[in-house]
Amino acid sequence: MIEPVVQLDEVQGVSFPGFRKRFHEFLFFQITDLNLFRSTLLEIKPNIINSKDTLYAHEQWKLFKDEPEKGPKFIFSSLSFSISGLRILVNEEAKEFKDKAFKIGMKKRSSLIGDPYSPDEDGHYSNWKIGGDRPVDAVISFASDDLDTLTSELDKFKIGIKGINLVHHDKGALIPEAHGHEHFGFADGVSQPALRGMRSDNPSEFITERKFSKIPEFQEIRKDFASPGRTLIWPGHIYFGYNRQSANNPREESSIDSPKGPEWANNGTFMVYRRLKQNVNSFNSFVEQEANRLNINKDFLGAKLVGRWKSGTPISRSPVHDKKIGRDMNNYFGFGFRELPKLPGDSFKLAKPDPDGKVCPLGAHIRKVNPRDEGTDIGAATKTPPKLMLRRGITFDEGQNDKGLLFVAFMSSITKQFEFLMTDWINRTEQPRSEGGHDPILAIGKDKFVNIKIENETHRLDLPGDFVIPTGGEYFFTPSISFLNNHLYSPNQ
Ligand code: HEM
């Protein structure tokens, strides 16, 4: 199987490999005077970094892992446009995108993806801080491990940039005492798909390192995974200008269904941005109250709702206790009948087939959004990898009543990936597998429930529907570096 060369010097690093910094802030704005915006942007030159340089920077950073204060103080930027922003830059050509969701924006799709209908409710788009009734043309982001470096870069941008109207500023930061965990206390960013593709024509230079042992036992599994549990997906599921997987064989690519857009979209990707407020008290009291009612431990119930313990260990591999297992082993499991060969050094029991959700409930968050090796309402398990996205979110905390997750995800089809997960799986009780209920983390509003099995008995848990409330969001396009050079930095424009 030959994989395509991905132009890593063209792709923005925010999507691949992701910035992975302690602080990641987002400035949302409207463009009021394009020429002024363009000329001042050229003067400030924020470091809009490509994937190749981001990968290199991560390598450099690793060298100073034990003495971060001595390491380089990187500052990375990204720039993305909503459909209205693209119209300002390229006029009618913006219409060439086929993705309906992107073309009409998140506000008009909000009720479809499960947000409240009434303006009286918190999560309704009229109450959003960004997007909704506060439309934006673009978002620039800055990320760094050093807050002073980040703040000075932000100030430089805010003072120097002209021709824009700043609408909102979101400040993402890792939780100081729990890096890598979200506000309900669970490790986040554990499971990510791996991009297929090469850095160059050299057949050993994969863009995602292949870590499976080459011994014959792993010969088959190596074809589908980059490392244990990291599903390989074709670059066309994330980037324009590449192919998606063929209809029935994830190991082959096909041009039939490749992302449709204008030529200049190549090496670009859609960015879904959702500012999600987490109601931590409501979540914790629900878990405590229901755990008491069922006479079980509250951490056990939490693990049933998410599908992982707070440490990130999947309940499928450690059904009773939160025991830490190695990073590689954390994703080495499925729910179906696919038998996995034992990994060297993995002393944990392998996950048992769990078709009825006795261990990991059918409605658990991670099982709803990625049913892994089991068949679903859309067909065989091979249909699921095209639904995966690159998640690059970060937590935020603006005080007691306004903390949560800045959900950021990259994909080449908003309708077939993000919106599909929201409408068809998260918010439907009988899909991807029947009798699961709603996704307990993301269900919003009344009459939502999830089914949990404990010792073979099914318990229906009625959900308050207010754990996660959208407080902003928009669909963006994160273009290639060439697009930025041709449409923003070019003096001939
Ligand atoms: C505040 C809101 C959210 C919270 C607290 C949350 C929490 C989590 C946690 C704890 C995990 C397990 C760790 C991991 O694999 O990274 C996870 C995984 C995941 N979440 Fe969410 N999430 C939220 C919103 C969303 C949304 C809006 C989506 C979009 C559809 C989503 C899609 C996913 C996916 C695809 C995975 C990986 C599943 C897998 O491959 O095993 N999450 N989330």
Summarised one tens digit per residue, pLDDT across range 385-398 is: 999 999 999 999 99
Q: What pLDDT shows up at residue 65?
A: 80
Average pLDDT score over the chain: 95
pLDDT in tens, 111-156: 999 999 999 999 999 999 999 999 999 999 999 999 999 999 999 9
Q: Is the CB of 405 inside a 6 Å radius of any atom of ligand 1?
A: yes
Atom of ligand 1 nearest to the CA of 421: 30
pLDDT of residue 300: 98
Query: What is the Å distance from ligand 1's center to 370 Cα?
Result: 9
Gap from CA of 365 to ligand 1 centroid (Å): 7
Cα of 419 to ligand 1 centre, how many Å? 14
Q: What is the pTM of this model?
A: 0.98
Report residue 491's pLDDT band, with 50, 70 and 90 as the boundaries.
low
Place 82 in a pLDDT band, splitting at 50, 70 and 90.
very high
Please indicate whether residue 421, judged by its CB atom, sits closer than 6 Å to ligand 1: yes
Q: What is the pLDDT of residues 203-244, one digit of tens each?
A: 889 999 999 888 888 999 999 999 999 999 999 999 999 999
Residue 27: name the closest of 113, 151, 149 by CA. Answer: 151
Return the pLDDT at 69. Answer: 78
Tell me the pLDDT band of 1, cut-offs 50, 70 and 90.
Answer: low
pLDDT digits (tens, 9 = 90+) for 241-291: 999 999 879 999 999 989 999 999 999 999 999 999 999 999 999 999 999
493 has pLDDT over 60: no
Find out whether the beta carbon of 231 lies less than 6 Å from any atom of ligand 1: no
Interval 435-462 mean pLDDT: 96
- The answer on pLDDT for 293 being more than 90 is yes
